[in-house]
Structure 1
Amino acid sequence: MLPKRLLCAAVLCLCFAGAGALAQTTPAVPSAETPPAGSQSGDEPATQPAEEASAPQAPAPAPAMQAPPAATAAPTAAASAPNTPPAMPLAGPVRNIVLVHGAFVDGSSWNGVVAKLQQKGYHVSSVQNPLTSLADDVAATRRVLAREDGPVLLVGHSWGGVVITEVAANAPNVAGLVYVAALAPELHESAVDVMKHAAPMPAGQNISADANGFLWLDRAHYRADLAADVPETVTRVLAAAQVPIAAKAFNEPVDQVGWKEKPSWYVLTTKDRAVSPALQKQMAERIGAKVVPVASSHLAPVSHAGAVADAIDRAARELSRQQ
């Protein structure tokens, strides 16, 4: 009996030893596959743009098995800045244009400009701002920037100028800025603060807040105040589809200023009844922008899409020569 007991004990020892060896080797497989699993979560660019950009840089499976701590460090760094666009090299021509709309319109207000720029060979993206807060519009713009491959020219119209001012300071792939009849605040200034530098404009008298704290422009005054040089048939559609902006957004200051470190251009609308041409000139001088005057109403992207596209094209070409 003793030999049989010894034999059974030996078999049991071999079984436990084999299970232990298997337990020690199996963790290495998941750790080597961790980067691909992380890249699947990057399929949601709206919440994890930086992680999506960092996925191609994840360590290969073999190095991860040799040094597991190094393999897990990359996802942690990406998660620490989910709204920060990827650090893209600024070498080469500027072929990416990102357009940011203003209040009382949506991204379709850029349609004419988009078509003109696409004809010139640019890769164009138009942000859809929720207009619920400055932070929300900044996040929406950063999500689009995170998807761009190469240097970007960031363009803002009206309220969109506040958004691009905040975004550009934290976007290494932004090569320059174009303001189109846009607000260009100084550090810690809000849209309301900027508008105080000039006399009240007619459009401001026809804006009212609803019970939910959103601002609307009176339909009866939409064409006269924003788009006097746009056909009435078009302005009726724009007025019907206007997107209200949260009143609180106009009082939210920028925490960083991109125009202090990026070259800027300013499309100045000389027939504007929403943002004073005198104020536009003052802002353009303050930020050191190259001024392109256009005899247009406030909605220049609609009424003068060709002129706005040409100004953007010239800015992109100048930036490309500097690369």
Structure 2
Amino acid sequence: MVADAAHERTLVLVHGAWHGAWAWELLVPQLAARGWRTSTVDLLSASGDPEAGMYRDAEVIREHLAGIDGPITVLAHSYGGLPVTEVAATVPRVTQLIYLAAHMLDVGEYVLGPTGGPWFDPEETPLLPVPDSSTVLMYADVAADVAEAAVVRLRPQSSLSFLEPLTRAAWRRLPSAFVVCDEDRIFPPVLAETLPPKADLVRHMPTSHSPFLSQPADLADLIGEISAELAALPDKISS
């Protein structure tokens, strides 16, 4: 597919907990075929450093965004929604946000807040191990060989990243969309149900938590549709 003027923007992809930029390897070629320029970020919270929390991840994202010319759409998956929400509105070239089965929370909230707080002692568990049931929780509809290859690349996540609260909410200032994965087994349904008042657009995919691995072509199509719809929305008033 030939690129058009709408794709003079860059799509920045921000992965979720336990993952890395490798998570987008199947999606990026599909996006490129549709005319997108893409850029990926590796978050420090899954690097094995227990001191790398959400705020450190947000700073990594901010520095990455600041180095990109032209308009930017940011797509965040799962936990990645937190540091994106924290920092995206501080970079003027960011004009759109897409939350893919991601935490879309408000100032003062953190990953584990809506679920009743941590199930672990942060002092005794500075790094959260990869979930034992990762395949079932995150890759239920992913081809077996692709899921197996993904699981072996997962890394422990800093517990601090799940506990640091937001000080900003970028979706209040930027047009945003939320993609609900209808067969998601890890993202609590109660969180998705609270999103319509926050997101300007809500769309659905009939997938589990990781459509970038199970249905990358369909996800790429949906991203294009969402970006066009967000571009047609009136500008939000800066708060």
> In 2, are the aligned partners of 1:161 and 1:184 still within 8 Å (CA)?
yes
> In 2, are the aligned partners of 1:93 and 1:151 still within 8 Å (CA)?
no
Matched residue, 1:152: 72
> In 1, are the aligned partners of 2:28 and 2:38 still within 8 Å (CA)?
yes
Aligned pairs, how many?
223
SS of equivalent residue, structure 1 residue 241 = coil
Measure the CA separation in 2 of the matches of 1:238 and 1:211.
27
Matched residue, 2:198: 287
Q: Which whole-Å deviations, capped at 9, do the CAs of 1:291-321 have from their partners, x for residues lacking one?
A: 1111111112211212222222112223445
Matched residue, 1:265: 177
> In 2, are the aligned partners of 1:209 and 1:216 still within 8 Å (CA)?
no
* Match status 1:225 vs 2:145: no
> In 1, are the aligned partners of 2:62 and 2:88 still within 8 Å (CA)?
no
Q: Which whole-Å deviations, capped at 9, do the CAs of 1:241-299 have from their partners, x for residues lacking one?
A: 1022111110100110000011111110111111023421312x131331111111111
* Match status 1:275 vs 2:193: no
Matched residue, 1:309: 220
Greater helix fraction, Structure 1 or Structure 2:
1
Cα distance change of structure 1 residues 208 and 297 upon mapping to structure 2, 3 Å threshold: farther
Cα root mean square deviation, aligned: 2.4
Cα distance change of structure 1 residues 208 and 102 upon mapping to structure 2, 3 Å threshold: farther
> In 1, are the aligned partners of 2:18 and 2:156 still within 8 Å (CA)?
yes
Measure the CA separation in 1 of the matches of 2:121 and 2:22.
23
Residue number among 85, 90, 103 corresponding to 2:17 in the alignment: 103
> In 1, are the aligned partners of 2:54 and 2:83 still within 8 Å (CA)?
yes
* Structure 2 residues without counterparts, runs of 5 or longer: 46-51
Matched residue, 2:91: 171
Q: Could you tell me which amino acid in structure 2 is paired with residue 215 of structure 1?
A: L
Task: Give, in angstroms, the shift of residue 210 of structure 1.
Answer: 10
Q: Could you tell me which amino acid in structure 2 is paired with residue 118 of structure 1?
A: A
> In 2, are the aligned partners of 1:116 and 1:306 still within 8 Å (CA)?
yes
Cα distance change of structure 1 residues 168 and 194 upon mapping to structure 2, 3 Å threshold: farther
Task: Give, in angstroms, the shift of residue 158 of structure 1.
Answer: 0.1
Task: Give, in angstroms, the shift of residue 157 of structure 1.
Answer: 0.1
* Match status 1:244 vs 2:164: no
Superposition map of 1:125-144 within 5 A: 125-131=39-45, 132-144=52-64
Matched residue, 2:49: none
Higher alpha-carbon Rg: 1
> In 2, are the aligned partners of 1:271 and 1:277 still within 8 Å (CA)?
no
Cα distance change of structure 1 residues 291 and 165 upon mapping to structure 2, 3 Å threshold: same
Measure the CA separation in 1 of the matches of 2:112 and 2:125.
19
Measure the CA separation in 1 of the matches of 2:20 and 2:106.
25
Task: Give, in angstroms, the shift of residue 120 of structure 1.
Answer: 1.1
SS of equivalent residue, structure 1 residue 145 = helix
Measure the CA separation in 1 of the matches of 2:124 and 2:165.
24
TM-score (norm 1): 0.64
> In 1, are the aligned partners of 2:130 and 2:157 still within 8 Å (CA)?
no
Moved more, 123-132 or 298-307: 298-307
Percent sequence identity is 28
> In 1, are the aligned partners of 2:125 and 2:159 still within 8 Å (CA)?
no
Measure the CA separation in 1 of the matches of 2:231 and 2:31.
16
Task: Give, in angstroms, the shift of residue 217 of structure 1.
Answer: 2.6
SS of equivalent residue, structure 2 residue 148 = helix
Cα distance change of structure 1 residues 234 and 211 upon mapping to structure 2, 3 Å threshold: farther
Cα distance change of structure 1 residues 274 and 97 upon mapping to structure 2, 3 Å threshold: same
Cα distance change of structure 1 residues 143 and 290 upon mapping to structure 2, 3 Å threshold: same
